[in-house]
Amino acid sequence: MHPTLSLIIPMHDEAPNVASCYDRIRAVLDPLEEPWELICINDGSRDGTLAELLALRARDPRVVVIDLSRNFGKEAALTAGLDQARGEAVIPMDADLQDPPELIPELLVRWREGYDVVLAVRSSRASDSIFKRGTARVFYRFINRMSEVPIPEDAGDFRLMSREVVEALKLLPERRRFMKGLFAWVGFRTARVHYERPARQAGETKFNAWRLWNFALEGITSFSHLPLKVASYFGLLVSFFAFLYAIKIVLDTLVYGNPVKGYPSIMVAILFFAGVQLVAIGVIGEYLGRLYEESKQRPVYLVRKRYGPPGDNPP
């Protein structure tokens, strides 16, 4: 029989969190008397995460372990979990207990009311560093101006999704998966539940500034072509002024003759526009690179071994 609820937890070097995470989840879910499964994806951990997970599984067969062949990143790990999940409702969570399991009953209530997606929205970002708060704000401003679908601010991957939503997500063929954007793109009836996001329980964050920056680029290039357009409009604008300036030079020459001047202005123009052109080429490169990645059609992740329910699982 299929479980009602599938929890998906991507894990990269989360050994100190495995046991406590399971205990907290169990304490919340068992009293609900619904069948559930806990899908843990070991995303190329270099610590004892896999051993911890297998020890858990030996005690509780509801724990499914998917061991990826290397570190594919959180988005890919999450995709692996979604492919594996069999539940009627699916909830991705972080291993560090920043997504409190105590919220799950509330998510289930809203789902039973008929919502397909129940977003867990953090009421404040107090547990984030000032740096992360600032950059997150700028990012959401930026992407929501540009993207075709609004990406809800202050909601992470922690949310409940119905089976229909998960099946819809599986239809999206892209290899570079900016999950937050894909979640938003599929739509469906959405409810919101607010919660206070605690600090990470143990270990440290896997997302340093460089990784966050690349994550942001991924999001922007996946959901907007605006950066490509900016170059063309800027080019048009510049051409317009260049045209006016050309007329002025011609008139000057006709009226005053040609007293060869203007070395500084030529240098400034050359340097400035060389810079602009390099930036524009860089922007095209970001898109082209992603197009290249997509065209290779490589799988999003590779499974080394699956320790999980036998039977009707996708490969």
Using CB under 6 A as the criterion, which residues of the chain lie in contact with ligand UDP when the complex forms?
A: 10-12, 14, 43, 71, 73-74, 77, 94-96, 98, 200, 205-207
Instruction: Output 26 or 200, the one with its CB closest to Mg ion.
Output: 200
Residues 123-135 as b/e (b if ≥16 CB within 10 A, e otherwise) read eebeebeeeeeeb
Residue 308's binding partner out of ligand UDP, Mg ion, none, with CB under 5 to 8 Å set by partner kind: none
Residue 10's binding partner out of Mg ion, ligand UDP, none, with CB under 5 to 8 Å set by partner kind: ligand UDP
Residue 83's binding partner out of ligand UDP, Mg ion, none, with CB under 5 to 8 Å set by partner kind: none
Min. distance of Cβ 167 from Mg ion in angstroms?
Answer: 28
Residue 157's binding partner out of ligand UDP, Mg ion, none, with CB under 5 to 8 Å set by partner kind: none
Instruction: Output 7 or 160, the one with its CB closest to ligand UDP.
Output: 7
Instruction: Output 36 or 72, the one with its CB closest to ligand UDP.
Output: 72
Min. distance of Cβ 19 from ligand UDP in angstroms?
Answer: 14
CB 101 within 8 A of CB 26: no
Min. distance of Cβ 44 from ligand UDP in angstroms?
Answer: 7
In order of 64, 121, 191, 220, the CA distances from 35 in angstroms are: 14, 26, 23, 38
Position 44, amino acid? G
Residue 74's binding partner out of ligand UDP, Mg ion, none, with CB under 5 to 8 Å set by partner kind: ligand UDP
Q: How many CB atoms lie within 10 A of CB 51?
A: 13
Residue 77's binding partner out of ligand UDP, Mg ion, none, with CB under 5 to 8 Å set by partner kind: ligand UDP
Q: Please give the distance of CA 251 from its chain centroid, rounded to a whole number.
A: 56
**Would you count residue 98 as binding Mg ion (CB under 5 A)?**
yes
| Ranges within 189-248 binding Mg ion (CB under 5 A) | 200
**Nearest Cα to 112, choosing from 86, 93, 89?**
89
Min. distance of Cβ 95 from Mg ion in angstroms?
Answer: 8
Min. distance of Cβ 97 from Mg ion in angstroms?
Answer: 9
In order of 4, 139, 143, 230, the CA distances from 222 in angstroms are: 32, 14, 10, 16
**Nearest Cα to 158, choosing from 193, 189, 132?**
193
Instruction: Output 215 or 238, the one with its CB closest to ligand UDP.
Output: 215
Instruction: Output 35 or 203, the one with its CB closest to Mg ion.
Output: 203
Instruction: Work out whether the CA dihedral 277, 282, 287, 293 comes out positive or negative.
Output: positive
Q: 274-277 long-range contacts, Cβ below 8 Å, gap at least 24?
A: 276/234, 276/238
**Would you count residue 99 as binding Mg ion (CB under 5 A)?**
no
- What is the per-residue DSSP string for 132-179? HHHHHHHHHHHHHHH-SSPPPTTEEEEEEEEHHHHHHHHH---SS--H
**Would you count residue 157 as binding Mg ion (CB under 5 A)?**
no
Sites of contact with Mg ion (CB under 5 A): 94, 96, 98, 200
